Structure 1
């Protein structure tokens, strides 16, 4: 049998063509790999925002089906995802208008609708309170800008949600207490008070350790210690916003 290289149609030109095709194939594979990496870089933060939205939708379904503890737990997971998505976007240089809108939609789903449903009963006044809570989150997300860099006007809604979810689980869903807390959180969110941009993952090491502790608590701990942890974390942001949680602090 004749060697392929010795065949009439396969000479110098034929082997050169083969090498060119091979090089093009490798270059194409390399370009595809770079495109995948670039796509991942641009959408990593968006994936976290989508994850936050999914947690919110799952919490809504859990509340509607009477699984109250699961609904609260999913809100706390959304809390962690929301703190991470902005840090990831800035770290990867992937901030965009789409990402900002997606983050707002996710926040409204998880920290507005899903959190309000934690308060829902068959009572008319409780349903009105739920609607007022959702509207306060809507106002907070639409008009949070203070005109000052890295400063918010009104309490960020993730902290009010974490307080309500934690207090609900710790109290065994004591509705009287939750109503009082919800009213207080509404007032904090629509207030004109200034709060710092909470760059937990872009600040001091101890703040990153607090975030890591939150991850450990939500996935590895029983309900009471985790709820106390998130409650103290969120209340500390309300009581000591600048002395503890300012990005410069």
Structure 2
């Protein structure tokens, strides 16, 4: 019995150590679960700040790509938060700050030139994003009120890349997007876009589009044959 006491104490200490390591592992996993979406929001904010620096240094092409990366990160953080059931007030505030940085300030600088009117347009764009984030809550499940600034920024960044930063086109698009962001129209929420039903609608639409192309091609062939 005397000989077994030290060994039993050793086993008890080993068991406690093993259990404490298990508890630590559980805590780490829980921390990751709760903060995975917040990490994506922080990454989105970093993309926004990097885009701002690129715009200020004249690298508009890189600034557009950084905004688009921020767009993908913002889509991911909402989906991750819902999938992991990690939605929180802190996460919502962090997401708003990141959105304002990337889709407000950084995106507005894509419009910036030495022209006074362009600088005024930049300020109007930032103000519209601020209003959209602060005051526009539809109160209707699965719906946005006003065009979400994330989509407006993605459109503006893509147009800038496709047109080589053509200032005239960007001005027109920016004015349209500002009006869409501050209007009272309703748009489907991300959760609707993530649903299986939405995927089926898109798939059906693509099939219809392909069938229409085939039908048009067949009609043209028949006309040529006649």
TM-score, normalising length: structure 1: 0.77
In structure 2, the CA distance between the partners of 1:207 and 1:168, relative to structure 1 (3 Å rule), is: farther
Are positions 1:44 and 2:36 aligned together? yes
Alignment: residue pair count: 200
Are positions 1:33 and 2:28 aligned together? no
Alignment partner for residue 190 of structure 1, among 167, 182, 187? 182
Cα deviation per residue 1:102-136 (whole Å; 9 max; x = unaligned)? 11111101100000000011211111110100000
In structure 2, the CA distance between the partners of 1:205 and 1:68, relative to structure 1 (3 Å rule), is: farther
Secondary structure of the corresponding residue to residue 112 of structure 1: helix
**Could you tell me how far 1:166 is from its partner in structure 2?**
0.6
Mark the runs of 5 or more structure 1 residues left unpaired by the alignment: 1-9, 211-249
Q: Distance in 2 between matches of 1:149 and 1:27?
A: 43
Moved over 6 A (4+): none
Task: State the Cα RMSD in Å.
Answer: 1.7
**Could you tell me how far 1:207 is from its partner in structure 2?**
4.6
Alignment partner for residue 94 of structure 1, among 76, 86, 90? 86
Are positions 1:169 and 2:165 aligned together? no
* 1:84–1:201 CA contact under 8 A, matched in 2: no
* 1:87–1:201 CA contact under 8 A, matched in 2: no
Secondary structure of the corresponding residue to residue 111 of structure 2: coil
Mark the runs of 5 or more structure 2 residues left unpaired by the alignment: 203-226
In structure 2, the CA distance between the partners of 1:207 and 1:110, relative to structure 1 (3 Å rule), is: farther
Secondary structure of the corresponding residue to residue 94 of structure 1: coil
Report the equivalent of 1:141: 133
**Could you tell me how far 1:159 is from its partner in structure 2?**
1.1
Q: Distance in 2 between matches of 1:152 and 1:19?
A: 59
Q: Distance in 2 between matches of 1:73 and 1:206?
A: 27
Alignment of structure 1 residues 14-29 onto 2, 5 Å: 14-29=6-21
**Could you tell me how far 1:96 is from its partner in structure 2?**
0.3
Q: Distance in 2 between matches of 1:200 and 1:64?
A: 37
TM-score, normalising length: structure 2: 0.84
Q: Distance in 2 between matches of 1:55 and 1:206?
A: 29
Report the equivalent of 1:203: 195
Report the equivalent of 1:222: none
**Could you tell me how far 1:199 is from its partner in structure 2?**
2.5
